[in-house]
Chain A
């Protein structure tokens, strides 16, 4: 069904009361009950809720360094800022809290505030609590922190090197976990196979970035030693014990509530949990309630990220393309700390590592490394995008190497319908579906033949056009035991078994006969209230609007368990299923109570159209409200020994979810949907710009409870996937600087970049879940990036064999593949001809430049200027003070503005490699509350007939907040500042002003950047 078709169906249903009355609500495209509040502005998100009188507002001081020893924090000046009540540091955390539990056996400590070391840019170092957020932020600048920088570890490659600086010295290595698994007999299959086909891919860091950032309201009750916190935390509530333990209280003394509305999560709001603990600690230290609202820079810089993964897969392949076995090596970058529930991203798909394919033999090595980057966590499709990027690129490579059609390779390897339920090599149970028929349906209904004809026609015109495919299984309802696959069987025995996925729902009738439903699903905008009203209305034969659903969660009062929350697509299968179980039980109890009155057996009592009656005698009916209310008003009338049917709470866990076996088999999810996608993309031969021409996505997600919402989930997942594939990346410099701290740097696709895909459905109900539904919201984040990448490979097939740039596939990367490398630049016309030493700068925001200028002064005169502190002070842009601290070494106070960020830096400047009067090296480094900068310049002086030719080459880099938010402007601004220095030098030595075409542009840019007025 396409988007238009679903919308039409919605409108038709709304306008057809006859159908509304008769048909069940489940399966209908019902508009949402949530929308009225959201559309009129009355909805209340966490930041809209009232705070207690006297509440303090928190601002967090964060590390500007990727890796440094934390030597000391001086909070005295900050405490004098008006409105400031307290400053909380790691010392308070040590005194009143504990480190977080970590999911693997390794001596790694992660605290809610840095204790003695910082391990990523943005790590919380101190918290200011003040009467307003504005005042709290003022005081951040007054905290003095002393750091000793350590060598940063910023890539998987570097983390695996023997000599890399260990982030967690007690572990001794940045490779913190490694496990190998062997299923079947992969060695024999590789020996037997006709050939081995391999791919090696890397998946970048990115994040779904919900529009609402994190919010925490925390209060501490000293009399009861208990915490009460409201936060837009999304679950999994398996993290609740982690939070309680970090606060040194039992779970019953951490009462966690969620707000009525949440502005999106996509898994990300799992990562608010360290701040729940941090703000609980702050409330305790300050003795007052505390509120913290994360800002966007904080979110992008330090909230959470998808894992980066390097993956190598070998396939043992027969000549016809049949894959006999896989050998996988996955190395996962989890960032600075392995934060709960990681290593979820690496193990979530362990039961479906072979995807939609019948591949019986499998060898896997999983490695986890830590790097000086933001800790990772749940992110729509977590682990799936990474896995399938490797697996589906591999299948495409098999086709390329065998010279076969990629679609035939997929067909040849899909699990057969007759094999369902299919047990995968690693222990998963694919529960239902006819993958082959689903694929053929998509090929037919999605008009693949027409797309191929279009490709042929466009290629004949010389255009770069490609078609890509991807087939994946979409896991939903995670097994709470899958993460323990990271432990050895022996370690698991010691820790005790973990398995299942408890979902909870309560259904109650009130004294007026109204029905209410409460669940612990912590929705973040999906429409859980709507679907639950559909499900429960059907069970009781009531109107949709008769069911009132409350999804606010309060761990102090509601039924919940560790699997509660909103993640791994568990709502439709598990939570809606649990609601149906609870409602059905309550209905059964009501039937038993009323059967006597209706002169029938309980089994024959029917609930329909607001009435309760005997199947045999529908005319003799009771109103539902009367039956429901009787238990409240007239409990004395209940049949002997029976209690009133007022409320029912169901706990439901999927039967097939067992703990990992001793041989490490694990059914990591309860359900597995199937997705088959294909698409056509065109790449502009000149610019490298990629356009998605057509995208077809076919889903079998079991029974669809509300097609309108299912479509919304697919469209949303698709949009996220387009961002992942083409635009989004958390970018870092080689020194760990974070470079994408605004939405102008971290590129979220807009309405101009996201096309509308053709959405097709097939419904193979899951035998596992009560309603037959499976998850559907994450699938495209697994299938779409690799489908687009395979299309790119096809489009570039005339240029390279199965080659695709790394994600995100940007026009620059594509253009570099399309166009041959540019010829080398002609040799520099400047300088003496003898090359000065090369200047290296960190990648990312590092920049280099060079220039030369003739001045009417002797080399000796120029030399004297450079070595005179007074003269040097006049040359340094923004220099307000310069003091000598050693031979040719100075400390300078410099004020520099980059775009909106203007800061005072204390800079260390030194002159070295002195070769009077011919050459010297000028180095400088500076730090401020806004970040750090450093640079090196080589200056050579060459005597000429009229004076001296001054030649300079420099390299510079800038980090911290200024790098994260000013990145777009940084290169040009730094170049201008450095240019200013040398222009001033030339001018001071009596040279001409800069060339004629420069000043106007220079002045304009300077004004634009706020460097000049």
Chain B
């Protein structure tokens, strides 16, 4: 990963060129050192699919993959992302010949989204997570999802969709 302007320190007043590989395509934009990665993606590169819900790292809406690993775009500066590979929600279908992935399809089928504002972040976390843990138990899945806030769905549809796509069944109020 090449450091940005490798020899000179960044100056607060000037915009610096930041180059990333966004969903497989090299993109360059300019950023003041304090510009958040989330703002850089959305307003400098026009990748609006990443949403901003809290800007303090709790809600998870802005989650993207940085060199494959899910991370909050609101807790990172754009200049820190220079030279990295960034994957966002826009890239999921692009990488699947323009069709929604099985996970996206399952979200639709199971009504796993309503307003959709938290959805991009959840999808990006899940694609990273399911790559490492392809068949999570419901408990494991809920634990992972607890890094995301959703105000519409009560999470039931999200859990259902993931369990469907991973071939597991979900327990529903099975205590009695």
Q: Is the CB of B90 within 8 A of A264?
A: no
Q: Which residues of the partner chain B approach A295 to less than 8 Å between Cβ atoms? A: 55
**CB < 8 Å: which of B34, B54, B90, B175 contacts A454?**
B175
A131 to chain B, nearest CB (A): 12
Q: Is the CB of A39 within 8 A of B107?
A: yes
Number of A-B contacts (CB under 8 A): 204
Query: How many angstroms from the CA of A743 to the CA of B55 in the assembled complex?
Result: 10
Min distance, Cβ B172 to any Cβ of chain A, angstroms: 5
- Are the CB atoms of A31 and B109 closer together than 8 Å? yes
Q: B111, A44: Cβ atoms under 8 Å?
A: no
Which 5 interchain pairs have the tightest Cβ spacing?
A41-B49, A525-B115, A38-B116, A263-B117, A719-B154
Closest to B103 in A: A39
Residue picked from B35, B48, B90, B123, most chain A C-beta under 10 Å:
B48
Q: Which of B3-11, B127-135, B144-152 contacts A (4 or more CB under 8 A)?
A: B144-152
Residues of A contacting B49 with CB < 8 Å?
Answer: 40-42
Closest to B118 in A: A211
User: Within the complex, which residue of A38, A41, A264 is in contact with B88, where a contact is CB–CB below 8 Å?
Assistant: A41
0/1 string, B151-175, CB within 8 A of A gives 1: 1111111111000100000101101
Once the chains bind, are B58 and A744 in contact (CB under 8 Å)? Answer: yes
Which residues of A have CB within 8 Å of B61? 211
Complex: how many Å from CA A34 to CA B172?
Answer: 27
Q: Distance (Å) between the CB of A716 and the closest chain B CB?
A: 5
- Separation of A397 and B109 alpha carbons in the complex (Å): 44
Query: Which of B50, B55, B153 is packed against the most chain A CB atoms within 10 Å?
Result: B153
* Chain A residues in the interface with B (C-beta under 8 A): 2-4, 7, 10-11, 14, 31-32, 34-36, 38-45, 47-48, 134, 208-213, 261-264, 266, 295-296, 447, 450-451, 454, 524-527, 680, 693-696, 708-709, 711-712, 715-716, 718-720, 742-744, 748, 750-752, 754-758, 965
Residues of B within 8 A of A263 (CB): 51, 53, 115-117
Most buried by B among A14, A42, A263: A263
Question: Which bracket fits the contact residues of B?
Answer: 35 or more
Partner of A211, one of B59, B142, B145: B59
Judge if B30 is at the interface, Cβ distance under 8 Å. Answer: no
B residues neighboring A (CB under 8 Å): 32, 34-35, 42, 47-56, 58-59, 61, 88-90, 92-93, 100, 104, 107-111, 113-120, 123, 141-143, 145-160, 164, 170, 172-173, 175-176
- Contacting pair A3 B160 (CB below 8 A): yes
User: Could you show 14 A-B contacts with beta carbons less than 8 Å apart?
Assistant: A3-B172, A7-B110, A36-B100, A39-B107, A39-B119, A43-B116, A45-B48, A211-B61, A264-B151, A296-B56, A743-B54, A750-B142, A751-B145, A756-B170
Q: Are A212 and B117 in contact (CB under 8 A)?
A: yes
Q: Across the interface, do A751 and B170 meet the contact criterion of CB distance under 8 Å? A: no
B13 to chain A: closest CB distance in Å? 8
Question: Residues of B contacting A4 with CB < 8 Å?
Answer: 160, 170, 172
Q: In the assembly, what is the distance between CA of A709 and CA of B148, in Å? A: 22
In the bound complex, do residue A752 and residue B117 qualify as a contact, i.e. CB atoms below 8 Å apart?
no
Instruction: List 15 additional A-B contacts (Cβ < 8 Å) besides A719-B155, A750-B146.
Output: A3-B156, A3-B157, A3-B172, A4-B170, A211-B51, A211-B61, A264-B115, A296-B56, A296-B59, A454-B176, A524-B115, A525-B152, A715-B153, A754-B154, A754-B156
* Distance between A268 CB and nearest chain B CB, rounded to angstroms: 10
* Cβ contacts under 8 Å, B59 to chain A: 211, 296, 743
Q: Which residue of A lies closest to B56 (CB)?
A: A742
Contact partners of A211 in chain B: CB under 8 A: 51, 53, 59, 61, 115, 117-118, 149-151
A274 CB, nearest partner CB in chain B, Å: 22
Contact B160 A261 (CB under 8 A): no
Rounded to whole angstroms, the CA-CA distance of A264 and B156 in the bound complex is 17
Q: Tell me the bound Cα distance from A554 to B61 in angstroms.
A: 29
Q: Which residues of B contact A2 (CB under 8 A)?
A: 172-173
